[in-house]
Amino acid sequence: MKKTLSWILILCAVMLLFAQVAVAEEAYAFTKDQFKESIAIQNWGTFTPTGYEQCDVRGTYAKGSRYFDSDALKYSGEETDYALLYVNILNDTAETRDYLKNATVTVVVGDSGVSFEGFARQRNYDNEENFFWDPHKNEQNIYYSIHEDDQFAITPFMNGHFLFGCKLPNAVFTTDMTVKMIITLDDHQFVYTIR
């Protein structure tokens, strides 16, 4: 009887642990129709998707650079394109937060079991200290990402600007299967339906 009771208690403890993990990894799903709609997460920040694009070239600044450099262009190649999701995260907490410290990006294609690993980068365009300009248009460049070594934590009550992306085969963009970008930041998961 004591052994049975012990096993029941162990089983209950394991079930409780799994329930806590499931709650900690709640997924927030959104589509392009929900851009500019914020997802507020208590004691973490407010996640706001602002745009998406499929493109052949993405821009990134060289380490320590504040200006456009043609060497900073990343080409996807003839048989692939980039899927790029632009996001703002308002740090509405009292602590400085490095939102990319524990970041992963994965694109999943339907139920095929096929997935692609992506990348998470920071953009920086509304800070007087790091004011990036597009010299060809003489305006702020809000799309280019900064070099990984130049990324920084977001201070309280400031917006962080981010880019989540993945290089994908062209056929992924035309498939009839559902294509989702899964972004994991700390214990929070955001799922964007690309198609």
One-character DSSP codes across 119-175: EEEEE--SBTTB--EETTTTEE--SPBPPGGG--PBPTT-EEEEEEEEEEEGGGGT-
Q: Is 1 contained in some domain?
A: no
Q: Cα separation of 191 and 90, whole Å? A: 18
Paired tokens of 117: 């690993």
Whether 115 is in a domain gets the answer yes
Domain carrying residue 159:
27-193
pLDDT in the model for residue 64: 81
Position 69 scores a pLDDT of: 64
Contact between 121 and 186 under an 8 Å Cβ cutoff? The reply is no
User: Tell me, what's the pLDDT at 191?
Assistant: 97
Kindly report the CATH number assigned to the domain that includes residue 150. 2.60.40.1240
Q: What is the pLDDT of residue 59?
A: 86
| Total number of domains constituting the chain | 1
**Structural domain contains residue 7:** no
Q: What is the per-residue pLDDT for 65?
A: 77
Q: CB-side exposure of 117: number of CA atoms within 13 Å?
A: 2
**36 within a domain of the structure (yes/no):** yes
pLDDT at 132: 56
The answer to the question of residue 173 being in a domain is: yes
Residue 176 has a pLDDT of 94
Q: Is residue 20 part of a domain?
A: no
Domain membership flag for residue 90: yes
pTM for this model (two decimals): 0.81
Q: Output the CA torsion sign for 148, 150, 153, 158.
A: negative
pLDDT in tens, the chain (195 residues): 555 544 444 444 434 334 333 333 578 999 888 998 999 999 999 999 999 999 999 988 888 876 666 667 888 999 999 999 999 999 999 999 999 999 999 999 999 999 999 999 998 765 554 455 555 665 666 788 888 898 999 999 999 999 999 999 999 999 999 999 999 999 999 999 999
Residue 4 placed within a domain: no
